[in-house]
Structure 1
Amino acid sequence: MSAELFGRIRDRLAGLHPGAEIGEPRALPGGHSGLTYSVAAGDDRYVVKAVPPGQRPVGRNDVLRQARVLAALAGSGVPVPGLICRDERQPAWFAMEFAPGEAVEPVLDEPAVPGATAGVRMLEIARVLRRLHAVDVRTPELGTPEPLDTADELERWSRTMHAVPEELRPGGEELLKRLADEVPAGALPPVLLHGDFRLGNVLCAGERATAVVDWEIWSLGDPRIDLGWFLLFADHRNFPRLGRAVPGLPSEAELLAAYADGGDDPPEMEWFRALGRMKMAAIMGHNLRRHREGKHHDPDQERLPPTIAAMIRTARDILG
């Protein structure tokens, strides 16, 4: 963090905490958008996200867009870190509460959490997702983003898949054709989408969800887009060579029942479950391609081919 940027942050926090010592910023691990730091102000601790030096505030680097969704969700029943302040001068930044808890994807992340705890957490955040999808999208803080069309979502991820060499995505072309031929005709009313909703992006303390984080790709669109992605992470068998069995996790059907809260399951979920698998295959294939081309050296990417193949194969099986 530059001295100029930290000076702006320090001055703002000092104004909120007169007489308190403002600590030096400490980079936080994880995340792939903007700069993320922890900053102490007296006895309080905040997370600060800022546009990286020299970068345009667009896409994942548009931190003020992330601040808007936090402001929109305040008091909604969806647990999010409280927005403390924001500064629109470039490089822009905002500060939010430091929420307690851990974000662990049960079948993928280390250290593991007990299966019973992970199972309760998954059912808990299925209900959180329902509350998120019930938020009024006319909330002024959200602005007026154009709702994401399901066919456009498919087209966007199809481009990512097509950028992956064919030998890394066996059966991918057939899957893309099936998805394109069977796009559901009836879209559900647009809701607020997280875009990457899963336990790995929800802080939990014990069995309680304390904060949904990582809002870089939020949008408005069909709620089944979020659901199809979330359900992927309930079964380690979706991730050969990557996942591990976690006894006690709910099934996809149980997660859908928790989300529906006594109502009917959303219609045509099979297509959205297949879409989620195609997206995961495209992301992993993209990462593996970058590694093999020397653009981002990460030998761990060589573990991905069995999972990419499984995602494509099971997506085709789901479609029937």
Structure 2
Amino acid sequence: MKKLELNIEKEKPYRFNLKDKASLLLKSKSAFIGGIIVSIVVLCAIFAPLLTTHDPYEMDMGKALLKPGEENHILGTDQYGRDLFTRLVYGARVSLHVGIVSVAVSMVIGVTLGLIAGYYGGLIDTIIMRIVDIFLSFPVILLAIALVASLGPGINNVIIALGFVYWTNYTRIVRGNVLSIKEEEYIQAAKTIGSSDFRIIFLNILPNTMAPIIVVATLGIGVAIVSEATLSFLGLGIQPPEASWGWTLAFGMKYIRESFHLSLYPGIAIMITVLGFNLLGDGIRDLTDTKLKRR
């Protein structure tokens, strides 16, 4: 019995230690820059009322399409006379809300199915992975458009649609990790002492798959933000008068010649935010890479 315990301790897989490795995040330029960008966007979303002096929904047709800097409007106004800077700051709330919640939905679906497919294998694994193949056979954005068109526009339906189409990445990654982890000696020992499948899956296997899940989730938030902007641009996403970067960008296209700033600034906001999440995701990937030197 003592020999078995020693083997379990010896074969126990490496677990990422945030306290020991946190310094690596600061050394990663991409993670550092991405973290700063994401932090700024999050703070802008949280403290939007303190950062703006205008009502994001108040219309003043007498001030429509003002140029940046005119009459105390830093970025000008839109076609309804609303302050564009205020609309962009409040739009960060919508984008982050959709991005984070939709990723959470897809993560729950994908991770659960990946754990089940990898652990049980056989027919269950075949069925789940064939469903994944079916989803992957369709362009993701077209599938999202079809779902939103069926459900109707609105922030909740956008979240449901995006969460339902992006779960496949989590399933494939988690399944691959589970297939190797379940063969470890400590998993076999847990089965020998009578641990339930639920306990093994969620207490022994899941913690050792969190590193790639976090990376995919971080990158997925950026993808979800772009997808929400695309749906809103097409008129299927967030509806007026809600502040949405995609919706603002779409309406700005109508005035691209005389007021190009209506499309320029929302596009920059989307680009910088997505860039921040991508850089942060790359940094976290390096941070959680088990091939790095273990301390």
More strand, by proportion = 1
Which structure's CA Rg is the greater one?
A: 2
Please indicate the TM-score interval, normalised by the length of the shorter structure: under 0.3
Structure scoring higher RCO (CA < 8 A, sep ≥ 6) equals 2
- Give me the TM-score of the superposition, normalised by structure 2: 0.24
